Structure 1
Amino acid sequence: MAQELLTLTGAAGSFSPFQLAAMLGVFALLSMFVARVLSSKFPGSKPPIFEGTPFVGGLMKFAGGPWRLMEEGYAKLGDAFTVPVAHKRVTFLIGPDVAPHFFKATDEELSQTEVYNFNVPTFGKGVVYDVDQKTRTEQFRFFTEALKKDRLAKYVPQFVAEAESYFSRWDESGVVDLKEEFARLVALTAARTLLGREIREQLFDEVADLLHDLDDGMRPISVFFPYLPTSYHKKRDQARAGLGRIFAKVIQARRASSKKEEDVLQQFCDARYQNVCGGRQLTEDEITGLLIAVLFAGQHTSSITSAWTGYEMVSSKTRGPKSPYHAAVAEQQAILKKHGSALNFDVLGEMETLHLNIQEALRMHPPLLLVMRYVKQPFSVTTSQGKTYNIPVGDILAASPNFAHMLPTVFKDPAVYEPARFLPPREEDKAKPFSYLGFGGGRHACIGQNFAYLQIKSIWSVMLRNFDFEMLDPVPAPDYDSMVIGPKPARIRYTRRKLAA
């Protein structure tokens, strides 16, 4: 070998510097290629590699869609596998056997910031993913306090009023797309309970247009290049600035007034930091950013889950009088007999059947296809096949509630809409921790899930009491091209009728 090296070194003198540089470049690329192939075939204690063609295979698999990637990777390699994407490693952890640490770990162990900071241009500076962990914890406390039980009870009449007003404009019968209808209705309820009375009554159209541009600026490419100078990003930035100006005036007027409103905006106006920022009030721009964050977290989730609940529930009518749909209607009749037409926090709390129907829709159709973390401290997982893998620092972790909920090893007949699976003695969601992730789980479970359930139950209570429904199309397929996984277009017929006790 030494002789061959000397021969090559001697021969190098016959090449020009450019030729030598080119040869060294080719040699380096070949070395990297061989190293990548060897690391793929012999990952050691790390999860197995799912890539195909080195360097470009992972990117091509992502381009084909995360769902297809997970189907192929899970079928071939099981619960845990890694997809190299350029210079990064994305490690998928699928199912409850490998999920616990993902959902229970502290932010010092698995961080959200590195994978979700693409939201900063949308939410704004100084909030959520643009602040340190202590400040973010305080800001999440503001959310939690705004969504306590006593606060939620005051939001319910606003949910009901908006729903009754909206559906009073429907004809005696008609055909609608639930996704479109709920997008409009939930925007109205969100404006009333989150953004404030002033926005709902005076500035709704203007704010709705700006929020649309803000939302439209959240494209798949934004995850990797949030500041790319595209037309969508330019309109996003203009919309964020416009919202800041509008809310600054509303907040100033609120703080100058002695009147207190029953909405999340008021809670943010009155809130103060406790352990950071010297105990000061939130700035106008911080309040705007937090309102945008809670709106993005809640509005899409509620509107899409309302639509999925309707499509799955109404489609079940074909099963006969014991179907989930008929059970929900019967429950409304019983509630009407007991409480009359009242719809408040306590009455909604008695609607177990409707709650289970929503929960099952969330099992089948969680809004987020992937949730992610950045590994700051190494850890190990043991798969359902008994294999143990070490997850290194620097990996990006990806878990999929959607995919995990469709595993027959977790839920029996997972493609069947069956709300009774959550009841004793089955309780399939409790077989293993983190089997059910409709609103996430662990340290970062959605703090607005009670708000969402009340909102959706309010809407569907009004609908079931005033209309009968019939599906004209099959249950629609999920739209995996969207950032939030909603249903593709589908038609449903409504017929007005008054439900009797």
Structure 2
Amino acid sequence: MEFPGTWCWCGAVALVSIIITVLSTKNKNSRARHPEGTQLTPPLVSGPDLLRLIPTLLSKAGLPAVFTGLYAKYGSVFRVSFLGFKMIFLAEPEVTPHFYHGLDSEISHGDLYEFTVPIFGPAIGLGRDIATRNEQKRFHFDALKPSRLPGDFAPMLQEVESYFGKWGKEGIVDLKFEFDRLIMLMACRCFLGIGEEVREKMFDEIDALFRELAKGMKLASILFPYLPTPLNRSRDRARIRLTEILSDVVETRKRSGRVEEDTLQRFIDSRYKDGSPTSVEEVVGMTISLLFAGKHNSSVATIYSAACLLTHPTYLKAVIEEQEQIAKKYKGGIDFNAVMEMEMLHNCMKETIRMHPPSLALVRKAHLPFTVQTKEGKQYEIPQDHPVATLIHVNNYIPYIYKDPHVYDPYRFGRERKEDIAGGKLSFMSFGAGRHVCIGEGNAYLQMKLIWSHLLRNFELELISPFPETDWSNFVGKPKGNLFVR
């Protein structure tokens, strides 16, 4: 599971700090020189360049524009190093294969995501040794493997129809609030089952606790996860209460002997290689991590999909026509196969996620040195024990892969163009890749397509809010403000 954005904000802090250090480090900011034919040290971003980017950082364009500017000047490999902060940044598919596909013994998260331990608990992830962590990763992959998606279709559809069935025929709603709540309902249904103990009695409290947990993902909590700050104390109280609620759910399920077709049951039934079962604490921690990731990433993508579709009438008309054709083919109803045929809607969702990825970058630590080669043929050495980041946002806007990358154009993923395929492997990185690919990609698309299929077939929507800016102060970029539609 990925936790994006964190070290991008570390970079932002370091960037601001350059004001007081640029003069003293000026002489150290030259590129390393090597004999011809040897590997190069990645170019070091100069202090003056960082200083000039501060106004951009503080503007509406923000951190994405900062990284885009550095990429434009320094190329696909560059480094930042001062005040104890150091990072090598990679952009373009040609230089990222090892980042995504290297063995954990060669490159991994290391301890860079220590801040997740207080959020999900010490029983999973970085709270455990790497062998246990890898087995828990296997449990996650098994619980969310694509072959299980047809089984998630019916409960997801029921949640969508039930939720929107409570809307009136007309009015004004905040889609940001509505989508956030609906996606949490869908996640709870698929991950925790349909038991009354969760669905009727506890949802509102669980939803509120996850909101409190998310507030602890601000920069200060990421950098100093164990300081007794108000945000950290609120985060800790929320996790303790969530653990109490979900532990009771797990123990009740075990005592009853009831077997459900949901993710919670799969975690309960999981076994380590030595035959030992998962503990209640481990099941709870893995469930919290999935709910957390599913709620926030899917919610952000669905909100931005609304903003994109409702501001592009040509594509809105195309997806409505597609829904009409599918409704006619399936005689007014839809099933899993019908959703898989929603090609235009899928491409609209994918284009939204390309332009508004939930993360700016992903971070690893190189445990062994390795070499990257740019498309121009230059080779750069990545030293041992050095933090490395891939710039997802930059990668998604590369013009030699995506024509007019700043233009919302879902047809770029259509059968005629397939720009992400033509661009080669690692061209579309919003869901990661390799050993740390987002395991919830299929679930995310299914959620979004079910929501939008229902809305397009039953409502006419008009956006009355401005297109939302992105708040990158959280580890997942979130739309600012409300998203009102009529």
What TM bracket, shorter-length normalisation? 0.7 to 0.9
Q: In the aligned structure 1, how far is the partner of 2:162 from the partner of 2:42?
A: 54
Shift of 1:412: 0.6
- 1:257 matched residue in structure 2: 256
Q: How does 1:155-304 map to 2 (within 5 A)?
A: 155-197=152-194, 198-274=197-273, 278-304=274-300
Alignment length, in residue pairs?
454
- 1:356 matched residue in structure 2: 347
- 2:101 matched residue in structure 1: 104
Q: Decide whether aligned partners of structure 1 residues 237 and 51 sit closer, same or farther in structure 2, where only a CA change above 3 A counts.
A: farther
Shift of 1:234: 0.9
Q: Does 1:419 align with 2:410?
A: yes
- 1:123 matched residue in structure 2: 120
Q: 415, 418, 432: which is aligned to 2:424?
A: 432
Q: In the aligned structure 1, how far is the partner of 2:93 from the partner of 2:437?
A: 15
- 1:74 matched residue in structure 2: 71
Q: In the aligned structure 1, how far is the partner of 2:113 from the partner of 2:55?
A: 21
The alignment partner of 2:333 has SS state of: coil
The alignment partner of 1:326 has SS state of: helix
Q: Decide whether aligned partners of structure 1 residues 340 and 133 sit closer, same or farther in structure 2, where only a CA change above 3 A counts.
A: farther
Q: 326, 329, 341: which is aligned to 1:335?
A: 326
- 1:15 matched residue in structure 2: none
Q: 457, 471, 477: which is aligned to 1:479?
A: 471
Shift of 1:67: 2.1
Q: How does 1:380-459 map to 2 (within 5 A)?
A: 380-430=371-421, 431-459=423-451
Q: Decide whether aligned partners of structure 1 residues 61 and 47 sit closer, same or farther in structure 2, where only a CA change above 3 A counts.
A: farther
The alignment partner of 2:29 has SS state of: helix
Shift of 1:264: 0.9
The alignment partner of 2:478 has SS state of: coil
Q: In the aligned structure 2, how far is the partner of 1:448 from the partner of 1:465?
A: 26
Q: In the aligned structure 2, how far is the partner of 1:250 from the partner of 1:307?
A: 31
Q: Does 1:314 align with 2:310?
A: yes
Shift of 1:58: 12
Unaligned runs of 5+ in 2: 1-20, 34-39
The alignment partner of 1:424 has SS state of: coil
Q: Decide whether aligned partners of structure 1 residues 144 and 62 sit closer, same or farther in structure 2, where only a CA change above 3 A counts.
A: farther
The alignment partner of 1:371 has SS state of: strand
Q: Please tell me whether the aligned partners of residues 50 and 58 of structure 1 are also in contact (alpha carbons under 8 angstroms).
A: no
Q: In the aligned structure 1, how far is the partner of 2:328 from the partner of 2:122?
A: 51
Q: In the aligned structure 2, how far is the partner of 1:331 from the partner of 1:492?
A: 25
Q: TM-score, normalised by structure 1?
A: 0.85
Q: Does 1:94 align with 2:110?
A: no
Aligned letter for 1:230? T
Shift of 1:43: 2.8
Q: Decide whether aligned partners of structure 1 residues 369 and 426 sit closer, same or farther in structure 2, where only a CA change above 3 A counts.
A: same
Q: Please tell me whether the aligned partners of residues 343 and 458 of structure 1 are also in contact (alpha carbons under 8 angstroms).
A: no
CA deviations over 1:147-202 (Å, ceiling 9, x no partner): 23453222211111111121122222223332222111111111111133332222
Which deviates the most, 433-442 or 416-425?
416-425
Q: Decide whether aligned partners of structure 1 residues 72 and 426 sit closer, same or farther in structure 2, where only a CA change above 3 A counts.
A: same
Q: Which one scores higher on RCO, CA 8 angstroms, separation ≥ 6?
A: 2
Q: In the aligned structure 2, how far is the partner of 1:115 from the partner of 1:148?
A: 27
Q: Please tell me whether the aligned partners of residues 311 and 475 of structure 1 are also in contact (alpha carbons under 8 angstroms).
A: yes
Q: In the aligned structure 2, how far is the partner of 1:148 from the partner of 1:455?
A: 15
Q: In the aligned structure 2, how far is the partner of 1:284 from the partner of 1:167?
A: 35
Q: Please tell me whether the aligned partners of residues 244 and 288 of structure 1 are also in contact (alpha carbons under 8 angstroms).
A: yes
- 2:45 matched residue in structure 1: 50
Identity, in percent, stands at: 39
